[in-house]
Every structure is written in C-alpha cells, then in structure tokens.
Amino acid sequence: MLVKGVGAKAEQLNSDAALHGLQIENTVAFELQEARGQRDWSTEPGTETRCKLLATFARNATGVPELDEHETIWQLNSVEITEPSQGQKVRSNDGSRLWFPITLRDHSGTIVLYITEQAALKLANVVDAAEFEQLLSENQLRFPFWSSVKVWRRPSKPRDAHPGLKGMCDSQPDSSQSQQEKDDFDCFIVDASEQNMTESPSLHSAMLLPLLTASADSVLPAKLEMIRKSDHYAMAVQYITQVMPPELSNKASEGVVGVPMLRPCTRVVALVLSTKRSKPSAAGEGGHKLVTDNVTDFLPAGSGDAQKHYSLTSFCSLNNMTDFKLDPTGRDKSQAAIISVTGLIETDTDSVEQPVKMLLVDNVQLLTPQQAEALKPKFSKMFYFAALAGQVGRKREQEPWSPEQNPSKALKCRSLGRSPTGPALPDYSSSSTA
C-alpha cells in the first residue's frame, strides 16, 4: 500500500522541481518484500544424503530439474564433525556473526561446509558467540561425537542481493573471487544437533548406496578386531559380505555372501570396554600422552573366539586430558566408551590378516553400561550398512544420474537425527565361508 508522505522532509521533496522532471531511465525498479522473522529450520524436513554424495553437487548445477530449479534442504545423520582449530577465523568478514567452515565425515567420505551462528551455537551447546570463542581459545570447545545437520542449498545470487547474508557470503569455502563466480549454488549448514545414538539407518537409507563411489577418506564403524593394516591407506576394516536386500540385488558388485572384504578408511568408530586406568606421560612442550592397556571390544567376539586385548594411545593437553581418560569410576570395574581411531602403531608382526593391537585415538565419549548396551543393536546395523556400501556402488565418479535414480529421489527425514521411516536393516552377520 502506498501513502503520501507528510512532514518537513516530504514537503521539501514535493517542492523539488528536479524530481518532477524525472524520466523512466532515471528510475530503479525493486521488488517489495514482506518482512519476516528468522526461519525455523527445525520444522522443515530434509532429504537424506551422504557427505560424499552432497559434495558432488553442493555448489554445482547437475542438470536434474528437481535439484537445480529451486532451493533444497538436505540432512546428514551420524556424521563426525571436526571443531575449528585454535586461531582459526570463525566470524564473517564484517565480524557480526559466527561463520566458518567445518569438515564433516561419514562412511562415504568428507565434505567441507560453512555453518551459521545459530547452528554452531546449538552444536556446541553454548549460550552465545562470546562463549563459543572463549572455549575455542582455551582449546575446550567440543562438538558431539556424532551429529546430525541440516543443509540449505539454493541457487546463487549476487552478494548484494542477500543483504542479510552479505558478510557470510564473502566467506565461501574458496574465498577467491573467481571461485565464488563459478559457484552455481550456495550450500551451508543451517541447523545441527547431537545425533540420537539409538537411531540407525533404515532400508530406505540403503537406496542411496548405488549413487556412491568408494572413498578411502571416510569413517567406518567396526570392532577393534576388524581393524587391519593397509599398505596404501591409513588403515582398513575387514567386513564379511552380507546378504543383499532384494531392492539392491541388481546393483551388487560383490555378489558372493560370507567372504572377507577390506574397506580402506581414515577413521574407525568402535564401541569398547576398558578395565585399566589410562597412564599419562609427558609428550613435548605442554603435551601429554595417554596409554590405556587391556581394552576390549564391548561387542562380543565371534563364535568360539576369545576376546582380544588392545592398547589405545591419545595425545592431549593438560586442559583436555580428562576427555581422553578411560578410567573405571567409583566401584565400577570397567568403563564403556565410543572411540574414534585415527591411526595404527604398527609392529613387525602386523598384517592384513590379523588385527592391529596398538591404536591411536583422537576422540572419546564415555558411556554408562546402560548406554553401551543400548548401542549394541545400532552398531550391528551400522556394520551391515558399511559392508553393504562396499558391495554396492558406482564404478565411475562421472557416471551420470538418471531421472529415476538421483539424489532428489531419496526420502525426507522428519527431524534431525532420524533417517526416513522404513523397514529396519538386518543385523550384521560375521559368519564367513572362507
């Protein structure tokens, strides 16, 4: 609605003869927009995807109308997120808000995405940006062991067309002007939360696997006894090939069931049990080394096998040493935990046939006995899903998507941390015919 201006300023403009002679070429057209509050991302469902799959089209046009003609919202579940490093710039160029890149990892690979302040505060469970930056400066900022994030992908516009995000858009993952001009889409995290530990992928989640190619830069779930030395990669996990769901039977590259299969990776997530206190020692200026011996898998060993023991090593500072300790507390004789294994301490006897007994760990989440027991069925289904991903997949990165099979055909997640509702995945079978 247009109304006539009143007041001294309005009278001055009305009496300005120069303004009465304006021609059409002297005017600028603009679109009137209704004022609106901050968008509530928690109420908007996201299409399920995987890190490496999203990375292939996050900022590029695909030629698939469902992906390119409008904005889309995506959801990544059970991802490991690396906190920003000390000294890293975490604010937008204008300094008004948190806005920084983070690396996300899952079984498929990695992706680097920027995260908004609202999502970053929620992920770190802090009150405001000042607390976030203080914890970061003290090396005490911690993201959840597993997270679920919602990602907004939208066609790019000139930065001046996004006044509310101008400072953020100045800080795209590749900050060079030429790269920004090449990006067809903006893609960043708008909501995040700690992953519900008891939620597992459904059978509908497995329908994404034929869209993925194998990646060694990934994080895989495993028992410690499944971790192997690799001649060409950081490490590998030995799975047993599983019975294929009928919906994927024609997509399998490995059709024989019950044979060992190695999947290379850079990280392994395991559910473990410690019965010994972690032993600290100095490791350079201000650093400490923690070694925990006699650690076992919390999950039972294979039929007829004795539980094997392992030694875990972590490097930390005095400020965060307690985050890595696996000490049994109180009257408890053991301590359960989820750990992230990032490397191997190899010996001359290590081989791809036998488990490596000495492992490097960079993340620990302590669990109560009840929490650990509740995670057993989740890990069994995660093993099945990871093995299935090694049996199903695309042979070539450039293999085109079809109208019937592309990322937009995945089902939507109703809330953070949950995969699309559908039939449960089978439990992992460790039976081998070899």
Which pair of tokens denotes residue 68? Answer: 């390119």
Q: Are 145 and 244 found together in one domain?
A: no
Over the stretch 33-44, which tens digit does the pLDDT of each residue have?
Answer: 444 468 899 999
Q: Residue 248: which pLDDT band, with cuts at 50, 70 and 90?
A: confident
From the CB of residue 162, how many other CB atoms can be counted at a distance below 10 Å? 15
Q: Are 332 and 278 found together in one domain?
A: yes
Q: Are 325 and 224 found together in one domain?
A: yes
Q: Are 323 and 268 found together in one domain?
A: yes
Query: Quick check: 242 pLDDT over 60?
Result: yes
Which pair of tokens denotes residue 73? Answer: 């919202």
Query: Quick check: 413 pLDDT over 90?
Result: yes
Within-domain flag for 36:
no
Cα–Cα distance measured from residue 64 to residue 320, given in angstroms and rounded to the nearest whole number? 47
Using a pLDDT cut of 90, give the percent of the chain over it. 62
Could you give the 3-state DSSP secondary structure of residue 223?
coil
Q: Are 238 and 97 found together in one domain?
A: no
- The domain total for the chain is 2
Phi and psi, residue 403, nearest 5°: -60, -30
Could you give the 3-state DSSP secondary structure of residue 374?
helix
Over the stretch 175-223, which tens digit does the pLDDT of each residue have?
Answer: 434 444 567 999 999 999 999 988 989 999 999 999 988 889 999 999 9
* Mean pLDDT on 19-23: 65
Could you give the 3-state DSSP secondary structure of residue 112?
strand
In 48-116, alpha helices (H): 51-57, 65-68
Q: Are 141 and 282 found together in one domain?
A: no
Q: Are 263 and 124 found together in one domain?
A: no
Over the stretch 90-119, which tens digit does the pLDDT of each residue have?
Answer: 999 999 999 999 999 999 999 999 999 999
Within-domain flag for 363:
yes
Cα–Cα distance measured from residue 392 to residue 205, given in angstroms and rounded to the nearest whole number? 13
Sign of CA dihedral 179, 185, 186, 189: negative
Within-domain flag for 311:
yes
Residue among 344, 318, 314, 317 at smallest CA distance from 326: 314
Within-domain flag for 423:
no
Rounded to two decimals, what is the model's pTM? 0.83
How confident is the model at residue 401, as a pLDDT?
85
Helical pair 117-124 and 129-137, crossing angle rounded to 10 deg: 60
Could you give the 3-state DSSP secondary structure of residue 376?
helix
Structural domain of 303: 216-391
Q: Residue 303: which pLDDT band, with cuts at 50, 70 and 90?
A: low
Contact yes or no for 264/216 (Cβ under 8 A)? yes
Which residues, listed in sequence order, are joined to residue 220 by a DSSP beta bridge? 268
Q: Are 258 and 190 found together in one domain?
A: no
How confident is the model at residue 188, as a pLDDT?
97
Within-domain flag for 33:
no
Q: Are 114 and 253 found together in one domain?
A: no
Over the stretch 153-166, which tens digit does the pLDDT of each residue have?
Answer: 999 976 444 444 44
Over the stretch 111-152, which tens digit does the pLDDT of each residue have?
Answer: 999 999 999 999 999 999 999 999 999 888 999 999 999 999
Instruction: Find the CATH number of the domain harbouring 106.
Output: 2.40.50
Q: Are 185 and 237 found together in one domain?
A: no
Which pair of tokens denotes residue 9? Answer: 């300023």
For the chain, how far is it from start to end, CA to CA, in angstroms?
78
Cα–Cα distance measured from residue 191 to residue 169, given in angstroms and rounded to the nearest whole number? 17
Within-domain flag for 149:
yes
**Burial environment of residue 231 by CB neighbours within 10 A (0 to 12, 13 to 18, 19 or more):** exposed
Within-domain flag for 400:
no
Which pair of tokens denotes residue 425? Answer: 């995945």
Contact yes or no for 220/267 (Cβ under 8 A)? yes
Within-domain flag for 420:
no
From the CB of residue 112, how many other CB atoms can be counted at a distance below 10 Å? 14
Q: Are 171 and 234 found together in one domain?
A: no
